[in-house]
A and B are shown apart, each in its own frame.
Chain A
Amino acid sequence: DAKTTQPTSMDCAEGRAANLPCNHSTISGNEYVYWYRQIHSQGPQYIIHGLKNNETNEMASLIITEDRKSSTLILPHATLRDTAVYYCIVRVAAGANNLFFGTGTRLTVIP
């Protein structure tokens, strides 16, 4: 599985959009980009995933560059409850036996 690079920490004002970048320059054509978050020592929570098209769900949007070497998770209106560690993961869909969690980005939403 390809490795990812994320900033260690970010701040975002409450009500503003939070844009969390992720670099995955060695991603393969059959690898998906996943985002999870972990709120204060709880179990990680799935947010969104994509292959090459931009994706949106009720929680967030995922923007993947055309060359797929990087992506951005967007929380459109950050709230205090979005304060968490956000993990960007790339993995092959078929037969994958692991999710490789790095250290993620600690997002702090400021009132």
Chain B
Amino acid sequence: NAGVTQTPKFQVLKTGQSMTLQCAQDMNHEYMSWYRQDPGMGLRLIHYSVGAGITDQGEVPNGYNVSRSTTEDFPLRLLSAAPSQTSVYFCASFLDIWAAGTEAFFGQGTRLTVV
């Protein structure tokens, strides 16, 4: 079990460029989510998915798109990168959000810098 795998680990983009942050999990988890973490702050939810074909917005969705065509993958797309999107991005998955006491598994993060 690799758990939750994020790629790339580091990325530098120029303002206006687009890119996709990859997230894959091999635990057959239904629920996946994307967070961003800015210096000195907690994690903020960007988008989440409760299963293949179903996505919804979180707290800070502007400038990001997601899709969930398979259970395993949940890519995050930056449409037109802006310096305000410089952050560390974390992907997480849960086995079952309906089950009591379900823990979340996090990837190791993608550190994105937009110049």
In the complex, given contacts A36-B104, A93-B99, what are 8 additional A-B residue pairs having Cβ atoms less than 8 angstroms apart? A43-B4, A43-B106, A44-B106, A45-B106, A87-B42, A99-B43, A99-B92, A101-B44
**A93 and B103 contacting across the interface, CB-CB below 8 Å:** no
**B42 and A93 contacting across the interface, CB-CB below 8 Å:** no
**A95 and B97 contacting across the interface, CB-CB below 8 Å:** yes
Partner of B100, one of A32, A42, A87: A32
Whether, in the assembled complex, A102 has its beta carbon less than 8 Å from a beta carbon of chain B, the answer is yes
Partner of B104, one of A93, A99, A104: A99
Which residues in A have their C-beta under 8 angstroms from that of B44? 101
Partner of A104, one of B42, B50, B97, B108: B42
Q: For chain A, give the interface size range.
A: 20 to 34
**B8-31: which have CB < 8 Å to A?**
31
Kindly report which residue of chain B lies nearest to residue A99, judged by CB atoms: B104
User: Can you list 29 A-B contacts (CB < 8 A)?
Assistant: A32-B101, A36-B104, A41-B88, A43-B4, A43-B106, A43-B108, A43-B109, A44-B90, A44-B92, A44-B104, A51-B100, A87-B42, A93-B99, A93-B100, A93-B101, A94-B97, A94-B98, A95-B97, A95-B98, A97-B48, A97-B56, A97-B97, A98-B45, A98-B48, A99-B43, A99-B45, A101-B43, A101-B44, A104-B42
Whether, in the assembled complex, A65 has its beta carbon less than 8 Å from a beta carbon of chain B, the answer is no
* Chain A residues with a Cβ under 8 A of chain B: 32, 34, 36, 41-46, 49, 51, 87, 93-99, 101-104
* Chain B residues with a Cβ under 8 A of chain A: 4, 31, 33, 35, 40-45, 48, 50, 56, 58-59, 88, 90, 92, 97-109, 111
- The secondary structure that dominates the A interface is loop
In the complex, what's the smallest C-beta–C-beta distance from A40 to chain B, in angstroms? 11
**B41 and A103 contacting across the interface, CB-CB below 8 Å:** yes
Which residues in A have their C-beta under 8 angstroms from that of B100? 32, 51, 93-94
In the complex, what's the smallest C-beta–C-beta distance from A104 to chain B, in angstroms? 7
Which residues in A have their C-beta under 8 angstroms from that of B43? 44, 99, 101
